[in-house]
């Protein structure tokens, strides 16, 4: 055995099981340290807990070998006819062979690895192991011969080789394996197959809706604390709300609420993001915990040094955003006198900018065309609002921080919420938000987050905002605060905007390329993962979404 193998950390036997199942699964779990516990994983844990309760039948051992380079916990060790027999318990069904039930190859490798550990630990040769498949009540005998031992050693060597690489192995050729894989939402195998074959009809393995909720703390002086495995939010009047940590995806603090150290520790341990906004709606900072994504970031840094890739991504992004702006103007002005409202000239200007972007020869030229598209879009924006609005809700053009009218205050606040969601997704995927491909690093905002959020400004905020204004949902006095020429959302205004935004995130949208529906909350994460694929050897689907 090499010196590197002796000094490297030992591998989990379960990692060899993953390797035999799919090399990509092994790499994601063991090298990039991405693990997702789905319903099947929890069911398997419950089975082992039930078996562990039967102390008369079950003896489990935690074993480790520097010589073999592996470690693990054998499910069960029994004596049969004076022989020591290791058992492995599986919740599912056995494989079928011509001569009856068989062990699945990954299960066979796993139990053989445990057997080699037990042999070294006991000093006793073991020639047989057994796997109990509970779904069809079958026990399969596995011969631990020289071939089986060689297979274990070969798998360990292969695992070591993959661990030294920064490149992910390709998606498995057996697409049936992906259907039951807990890491399919990270791997995106179906989307990768679609990118390579436009005739492929992908199965949606990516979760349709988010499983956890976002907790917004908007009351100044409120306190966020911890009680067991629960987050508690207590307002200034002493009223308390409880949120089980496993149901929380992120906590957002608006203004001057307090968060205890214990609550932050709990959030970090459960990979729950904590983010802070100023009372005026500006994003300050955030905490997103998780495993070190060094391989993902190395791939990102290397890729973003290539001018050709930067230009291709930038062009796709500019065209996608301008197409959404054009689509919204066309949709929202249907049946209106576009020329009288100034929308017709905005539409023509957007079309010209789109055409110019398609022929641009550099990123700087693209930035110019993107700016032109934005100016034309907002020139037509007033025509989308009903003409009987209070004059204080009129829109006279885009201005940013500080916003000088109520519509701009709403636009800026919603974009700040969107920025936070995009940043959370980027960091959860394991990318470095400070390194983007289109926006220049000119402020505290992360360029990659600014890049990605361009895809979502129109569908996630502009559209629901215009709808809410036209439904007269905003009170010009109660929902806004004005100080000189500056206009901000009041406490009631912030709560109302958060409600509009969070409700929009739950709306579902059918992706025009993958042909399956996702909530907008999930779509942000999907685009972040598709972006990473652009430099992970699996390009083609990023920024293909279009508003129709």
Calculate the CA 486 to chain-centre distance: 36
The helix/strand/coil state of 1 is coil
CA distance 97 to 414: 58
- pLDDT at residue 456 tops 60: yes
Residue with tokens 């905005």: 346
In a shared domain, residues 416 and 331: yes
CATH number reported for the structural domain that contains residue 60 in this entry? 3.90.320.10
Tell me: pLDDT of 544 over 60: yes
In a domain, 196, yes or no: no
**Residue 544 covered by a domain:** no
pLDDT value at residue 289: 75
Structure confidence at residue 455 (pLDDT) = 96
For position 233, which CATH number holds?
3.100.10.20
Band (7; pLDDT cuts 50, 70, 90): low
The first and second tokens of residue 264, run together, are 């932050």
* Residue 533: its H or E element: helix 520-533
Question: Does the residue 321 lie in any domain?
Answer: yes
| pLDDT number for residue 198 | 86
Q: Max CA-CA distance within the chain? A: 94
- Are residues 85 and 225 located together in one domain of the fold? no
Do 223 and 338 lie in one domain? The reply is no
Q: What are the tens digits of pLDDT across the range 183-210?
A: 998 899 999 999 888 889 888 888 888 7
Q: Measured between alpha carbons, how far is 43 from 40 in angstroms, rounded to an integer? A: 5
CA-to-CA distance for 148 and 462, rounded, in angstroms? 61
Task: Answer yes or no: are the C-beta atoms of 414 and 422 closer than 8 Å.
Answer: no
Cα 226 to chain centroid distance, Å, stands at 26
- Supply the pLDDT for residue 548: 67
Residues above pLDDT 90, as percent of the chain: 64
Q: Helix 491-506 crosses helix 520-533 at what angle (to 10 degrees)?
A: 70
Q: Report whether pLDDT(54) > 80.
A: no
Percentage of residues in the chain having pLDDT higher than 70? 93
Is the confidence at residue 115, as pLDDT, over 80? yes
Rounded to 5 degrees, φ, ψ at 414 are -65, -40
Q: Are 384 and 315 in a shared domain?
A: yes
202 in any annotated domain: no
Q: With a cut of 50, say whether residue 56 has pLDDT above it.
A: no
pLDDT tier at 536 (50, 70, 90 boundaries)? confident
Residues 353 and 317 occupy one common structural domain:
yes
H or E segment at 147? helix 146-163
Query: Are 272 and 290 contacting, i.e. CB atoms less than 8 angstroms apart?
Result: no
Based on the fold, state whether residues 240 and 351 are members of the same structural domain: no
Average pLDDT over residues 103-109: 94
DSSP state of 388: T
529 shares a domain with 444: yes
pLDDT at 53 (0 to 100):
43
Number of domains comprising the chain? 3
Domain-located, residue 395: yes
Shared-domain flag, residues 101 and 228: no
Q: Is the pLDDT of residue 436 over 90?
A: yes
Q: Per the domain annotation, does 540 fall within a domain? A: no
Alpha carbons 301 and 425: distance in angstroms, whole number: 18
> What does DSSP assign to residue 179?
G
Identify the domain containing residue 341 by its residue range: 294-533
Same domain membership, residue 356 and residue 220: no
Q: Which two tokens stand for residue 205?
A: 């393995």
- pLDDT at position 57: 47
Instruction: Report CA-CA distances (Å) from 21 to 15, 97, 152.
Output: 10, 18, 14
Q: Specify the pLDDT at position 441.
A: 83
Backbone angles phi, psi at 277, to 5 degrees: -120, 150
Tens-place pLDDT, residues 24-36: 999 999 998 887 7
Output the domain CATH number for residue 366.
1.20.120.920
What phi, psi does 138 have (nearest 5°)?
-130, 140
The stretches of 221-306 forming alpha helices (DSSP H) are: 261-269, 294-303
* 40 CB-near residues (< 8 Å, 6+ apart): 91, 180, 182
Residue 468 lies in a domain: yes
Mean pLDDT of the chain: 89
Q: Same domain for 229 and 326? A: no
More confident residue, 110 or 84: 110
The enclosing H or E element of 273 equals strand 273-277
Residue found under tokens 């005026």: 280
Token pair belonging to 60: 């489990």
Q: Which residue has the tokens 């205004």?
A: 493
- Quote the CA–CA distance of 125 and 353 in Å, as a whole number: 75
Task: Please state the rounded mean pLDDT for residues 334-354.
Answer: 92
In tens, the pLDDT along 373-404 reads: 999 999 999 999 998 999 999 888 888 778 88
Instruction: Identify the domain boundary among 187, 205, 221.
Output: 187
Q: Is the pLDDT of residue 81 over 50?
A: yes
Q: Is 203 part of any domain?
A: no
The pLDDT value recorded for residue 462 is 97
Tokens of 24: 């990509």
Specify the pLDDT at position 399. 83
Helix, strand, coil percentages for the chain (3-state, nearest 5): 45, 20, 35
Tell me the pLDDT band of 291, cut-offs 50, 70 and 90.
low
Both 238 and 343 in one domain: the answer is no
The yes-or-no verdict on residue 416 having pLDDT over 80 is yes
Give residue-wise pLDDT tens across range 212-238: 899 999 998 999 999 999 999 999 999
């Amino acid at each position: 055995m090499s010196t590197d193998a002796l000094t490297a950390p030992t591998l989990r036997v379960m990692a060899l099981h993953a390797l035999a199942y799919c090399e990509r699964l092994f790499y994601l779990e063991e090298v990039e340290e991405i693990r997702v516990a789905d319903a099947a994983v929890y069911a398997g844990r419950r089975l082992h807990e039930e078996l562990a309760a039967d102390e008369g039948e079950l003896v489990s051992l935690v074993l480790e070998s520097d010589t073999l380079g592996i470690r693990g916990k054998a499910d069960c060790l029994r004596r049969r006819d004076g022989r020591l027999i290791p058992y492995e318990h599986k919740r599912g069904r056995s494989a079928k062979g011509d001569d009856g039930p068989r062990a699945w190859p990954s299960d066979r490798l796993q139990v053989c690895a445990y057997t080699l550990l037990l042999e070294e630990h006991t000093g006793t040769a073991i020639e047989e192991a057994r796997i109990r498949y509970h779904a069809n009540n079958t026990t399969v005998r596995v011969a631990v011969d020289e071939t089986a031992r060689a297979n274990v050693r070969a798998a360990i060597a292969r695992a070591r080789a993959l661990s030294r690489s920064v490149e992910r192995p390709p998606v498995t050729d057996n697409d049936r394996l992906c259907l039951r894989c807990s890491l399919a939402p990270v791997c995106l195998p179906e989307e990768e197959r679609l990118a390579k074959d436009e005739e492929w009809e992908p199965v949606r393995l990516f979760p349709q809706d988010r499983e956890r909720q976002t907790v917004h703390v908007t009351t100044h002086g409120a306190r966020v604390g911890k009680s067991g495995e629960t987050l508690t939010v207590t307002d200034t009047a002493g009223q308390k709300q409880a949120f089980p940590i496993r149901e929380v995806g992120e906590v957002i603090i608006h203004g001057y609420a307090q968060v205890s150290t214990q609550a932050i520790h709990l959030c970090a341990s459960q990979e729950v993001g904590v983010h802070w906004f100023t009372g005026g709606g500006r994003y300050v900072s955030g905490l997103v915990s998780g495993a070190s994504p060094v391989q993902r970031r190395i791939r990102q840094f290397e890729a973003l040094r290539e001018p050709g890739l930067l230009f291709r991504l930038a062009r796709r992004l500019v065209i996608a955003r301008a197409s959404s702006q054009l689509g919204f103007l066309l949709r929202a002005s249907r049946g209106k006198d576009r020329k009288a409202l100034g929308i017709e000239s905005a539409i023509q200007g957007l079309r010209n900018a789109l055409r110019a972007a398609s022929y641009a020869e550099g990123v700087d030229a693209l930035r110019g065309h993107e700016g032109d598209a934005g100016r034309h879009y907002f020139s037509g924006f007033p025509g989308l609002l009903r003409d009987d609005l209070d004059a204080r809700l009129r829109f006279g053009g885009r201005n940013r921080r500080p916003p000088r009218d109520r519509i701009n205050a709403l636009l800026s606040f919603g974009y700040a919420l969107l920025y936070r969601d995009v940043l959370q997704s980027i960091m959860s995927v394991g990318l470095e938000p400070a390194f983007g491909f289109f926006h220049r690093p000119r402020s505290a905002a992360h360029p990659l987050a600014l890049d990605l959020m361009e895809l979502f400004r129109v569908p996630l905020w502009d559209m629901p905002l215009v709808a809410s204004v036209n439904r007269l949902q905003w009170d010009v006095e109660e929902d806004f605060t004005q100080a000189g020429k500056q206009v901000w959302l009041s406490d009631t205004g912030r709560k109302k905007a958060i409600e509009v935004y969070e409700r929009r995130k739950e709306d579902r949208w059918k992706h025009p390329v993958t042909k399956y529906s996702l909530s907008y909350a999930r779509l942000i994460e999907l685009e972040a993962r598709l972006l990473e694929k652009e430099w992970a050897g699996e390009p083609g689907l990023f920024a293909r979404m279009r508003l129709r």
